Amino acid sequence: MLFFNHKYRYWFALALAVYTYLSTLFCNVYSYFGMDVQWYTALGSIVVITVGTWEAGRLLYPLFHKLPQKEDLIIRNLLVYWMAAGVASGLFTVAVVFAFDRLFHHAPIDLYNPLKLTLTYALLINLLFHLLHAVAYYMERYKNKQLEAEELLRMHTQAELQSIKSQVNPHFLFNNLNVLSALVLKQSQDANHFIEAFSNVYQYILRNQEKELIDLQQELDFLEPYIYLLQHRFPNSIQLNIQIAAEAKQLQVVPVALQMLVENAIKHNIVSPQQPLQIHITSSDKKQLTVANNLQPKRNKAASGNVGLVNIDQRYAITTGKHIAVKNDGQQFSVSIPLIQVHTYAGSYH
C-alpha cells in the first residue's frame, strides 16, 4: 500500500496538523476572517481533517490498485485516485465542520468562512499526500523494474553458463572411449582399471559440472584418475610436475579447469616417447595457478579456435568477473587461472 499505509502515518498527520495550527496562529488567519474560534476547536478540527484525509487515501487505495496498471495508464489512474480521495475528503470535512459546530457552538454562526478554510486545507493536504504517494509509487515501480532486470540478467547468465559447461563433456568422452575400445579389442587386462578410472573421472564431471566454483584440492584429487587415463592414451609420453602451496589448495577454481588445460596442452602439441610433453602445474602465490608446457606444436594441426581456453575464460568471467592469462614465449606455453577466495563469491549467481 506504499505511502498511505506507512507505519508512522498517524504521527506524520499529527505533526502536519500541529504545524498547520501554529501557522494559522502566526498568520492571524482566524482574526483576518473574523472568526472567533477556541484553540481546542481549531486544533481538534485540523487534526481530525488531516487524519480523515489521510484515511480517505488509504481506504480508497484498493480501488486504485484494481485499476489496470499499464504503463500508459498510470497518470490517469493517479489522477482518478486523487480526485476520488478529494471528493471523499471534502465530504468528510463538511461533516466535521457541522459536527464541531453542533458540539462547541450553542448559538448559530455563519459557517461560510469555516467551510471555505477547512475545505481549502483538506483539498491542499489531499494534493500533498497524493503527490508524495505518486513519488513513492514511481520509486517502487522503478525498484521493481530493476529487480526484474537483474533477475532476467541472472537467468540469462545461468543459461549462458550452462551452455558453456555443456561443452566440457563430449570431447572428453570421445577421446577416452576410443582408448577403451582399443583396450577391449586387445583384450588387455588394463581395460577394467581403465573403466574404473574413467568412471571416477566422469562421475566427478557429472557431480560438479553444475557448480560454479570448486576447491582446488578436489581438482587435484580428480587429476589422479585422469592422469591414469592419459598414461594409457600416451604411454611414456607425458611428464607431469605438480607444485602447489598448501594454502592455495583451499582456494577455488571453476570445475574441470585443470583437466581442460592439460587436455589443451596435449591437443596442440606432439606427445610421444621421443618427444615427451612436460606439463608443470604450479602456484606462485594465492592469486593464480599456472599450467605450463614446453612448446612442440603439431605440424598438421587443424584450427580449433582454442575452444577449451575460451570455455574456461567465459566461465570465470560469468562466475567471478575475472579472466585467465595466456602467455607464449616461443619456448613455453602457459595459462594462469585465478584462485578464488570462497567467501568472496559465495552466493553469486545462485
Bridge-based pairing of strands 277-282 and 238-243 is parallel
pLDDT of residue 326: 95
Helices (H) and strands (E) in the chain, counts: 10, 7
Give the pLDDT confidence score for residue 189 in this predicted structure.
Answer: 62
Structural domain boundaries in the chain = 2-161, 166-338
Q: Residue 74 is placed in which grid cell?
A: 498510470
Indicate the residue type of 329.
D
CA distances from 198 to 44, 141, 211 (A): 85, 53, 21
**For position 112, what pLDDT does the model report?**
74
Tell the burial category of 218 from Cβ atoms under 10 Å away from its Cβ (0-12, 13-18, 19+). Answer: middle
259 secondary structure, DSSP code: H
Measuring CA to CA, which residue among 227, 237, 293, 292 is closest to residue 259?
A: 227
* Strand-pair partners of 288: 338
CA nearest to 53, candidates 113, 132, 154: 132
Strand, helix or coil for residue 337: strand
Spatial distance between the Cα atoms of 148 and 142, rounded to a whole number of angstroms: 10
* Nearby residues of 231 by Cβ (< 8 Å), 6 or more positions away: 238
CB 2 within 8 A of CB 135: no
Contact 325, 234 (CB under 8 A): no
Low-confidence stretches of the chain (pLDDT beneath 70): 1-2, 104-110, 152-192, 194, 206, 208-210, 301-305, 342-350
For residue 37, how far is the Cα from the chain centroid?
A: 59
Q: Which three cell numbers stand for residue 116?
A: 471555505
What does the angle CA 56 – CA 73 – CA 7 come to, to the nearest 5 degrees?
A: 35
| Residue 195 to residues 28, 138, 179, 192, 237, Cα–Cα distance (Å) | 98, 62, 10, 5, 21
C-alpha dist (Å) from residue 232 to 114, 165, 175, 176, 348? 100, 26, 11, 9, 39
Q: Are 174 and 181 in contact (CB under 8 A)?
A: no
CATH 3.30.565.10 fits 166-338, yes or no: yes
Distances (CA, A) of 115 to 13, 88, 89, 173, 348: 20, 15, 13, 87, 61
pLDDT at res. 349: 41
Cross-strand bridge partners of residue 292: 280, 334
